[in-house]
Amino acid sequence: MSMLADAAKYCRKLTSKSQSNFYYAFLFLPREKREALEAVYAYCRLVDDVVDEEAPVADKLAGLERWRRELDLVYGEATPPDDTHPVTLKLREAVRRFPIRREDMEAVIDGCAMDVERDRYETWDELRLYCYRVASAVGLMCIEIFGYSSPRARDYAVDLGIALQLTNILRDVHEDAERGRIYLPLEDLRAAGVSEEDLARGRTSPGFLRLMRTNAARARSHYLRARAAIGPAERRQLVIAEIMGEIYFALLQRLEAADFAVFDGKIALRRREKMAIALRNFASAQVGNLLAH
């Protein structure tokens, strides 16, 4: 029991330390669901950290494969050894309480492997696959913890994940380019007359605005498709995902309102704005549940 308690503390500390948008969405959950989500978040964070570390490509890929082997312990029946990673212990508990699919956990590893092996995406279809693996797969894991009644909730998770990841890409386009990474499709850059050097050097132009607006429209369409996939009752059930969606949609709106001035510093929502969105959605869900009964 103490090992699980320590593992839970480890996952909670990692989640709260990040101060990510996920953190604000988790605050209102009952303990069992919150701890399961914190374990999923910690897993995704640590797998992603393998990509970000300074190491040769072969070492990074080996690190990702180690996490793939950890999933054998997560989904296996044998008692894990005493030195098992705390995140693995909490994930093992989570998958016994909630129907989280291994294929979705592996998709996150596959997405991070794409980050290791490539730093450009030629087409939207290629980028969409990346977004699916690193974001939609996370959403598919999370909705199994939230619970849902409509089978279209899975479509909701897929579209919302793509929208969230594309919003992140738009926000970080300059920072990523400075690191030698271009996520926006190269075919879009050519169509807009924007070079990779333009992104790295922070050159704003009419073409750059067209490039950003094209992909912002893509993100917006996925937000709208996610919203259309489920009704009010399911949205109340998936209130935590709705909080995430509204926070990121507000970020997309801020990027658009600022004419994508991403070269002037990172555009973000303030902490109190995120908290207000979380509180509003949670209160609305509670009222809706009362009226439904």
Note the pLDDT tens digit of each residue in 42-100. Answer: 999 999 999 988 899 999 999 999 999 999 999 998 888 888 999 999 999 999 999 99
Q: Are residues 141 and 248 in the same domain?
A: yes
* Per-residue DSSP letter, 265: S
What CATH number is associated with residue 89?
1.10.600.10
Q: Which residue range(s) make up the domain with 76?
A: 1-117
- For the ranges 23-27, 142-146, 271-275, which has the lowest average pLDDT? 23-27
Compute the average pLDDT of residues 107-136.
97
Q: Are residues 27 and 48 in the same domain?
A: yes
Number of domains comprising the chain: 2
- Asked which of 58, 90, 117 is the last residue of a domain, the reply is 117
pLDDT for res 58: 96
d(CA 73, CA 84) in angstroms, rounded, equals 9
pLDDT for res 1: 46
pLDDT exceeds cutoff 70 at 141: yes
- For the ranges 20-34, 78-92, 145-159, 187-201, which has the lowest average pLDDT? 20-34
Q: Are residues 201 and 166 in the same domain?
A: yes
* Per-residue DSSP letter, 81: P
- The answer to whether 255 and 171 are in contact (CB under 8 A) is yes
